[in-house]
Amino acid sequence: MTRSRMALAFGERLDLALMVGESPPPLTGAMVVPQDVHLILGDTGPIEDTQETPEQVLAVPGVVRPRRPGSVVVGASPEGGPLLLQAIVYDFDRSPPARDIHVFEALIAAFEEARARGIRSVAVQPLGTAHSGLDPERFLALLAQVCYSSAEMETTVRHVHLLLASPLELGRYEALLRALADKRTRADRRP
């Protein structure tokens, strides 16, 4: 696992760090991964309480119930890893398949779920940036906005780790994070 030396602090309450790897760092309480409305991405299945009785579920066999874009499906990670939060950010029946508002809502829902469970460390894979979706710059801006809001609202989350697929992607996100930090600094200096 390669960790960037660059991180962004949101006051003294929360920090956002970049790293390369598929697995989150030790002691991570939740991992947020991208998912589509039909739950076809990845190899994990949902575990959720739909509040339906077995009779209600069996009464509608074969009906596909797409999830609402912007929501989160709570699942279990293999081998007792962190809580898996599947962010519903893709709908392949639409163009583009991912939208800002759905990524933003899913991030808020994931942070809320983490807060409700008292989780202090969250790993996030880029949401909505694949399949001709959002630009990485836009995703990072949305993630930073949610981190800032969460820090202001005194969330339990203290560490956010953005998990990236390669050193090349790490370099790109470091440049984007640096630009975002510079933009924040300039905004703070304005009278």
d(CA 152, CA 154): 5
Please report where in the chains the tokens 């697995």 appear, as a residue.
23
Average predicted confidence (pLDDT) for the chain: 87
Mean per-residue pLDDT, 90-111: 95
Burial class (CB in 10 A: 0-12, 13-18, 19+), 167: exposed
In this predicted model, which residue has the larger pLDDT, 136 or 40?
Answer: 136
Mean per-residue pLDDT, 18-40: 93
Mean per-residue pLDDT, 84-92: 95
pTM of the model as a whole: 0.85
Phi and psi angles of residue 10, each rounded to the nearest 5 degrees, phi first: -110, 85
Residue 20 — very low, low, confident or very high, per pLDDT cuts 50/70/90?
very high
Give 127's contacts (C-beta < 8 A, 6+ positions apart).
32, 34, 87, 89, 98, 103, 106, 107, 134, 139, 143
Residue 132 — very low, low, confident or very high, per pLDDT cuts 50/70/90?
confident
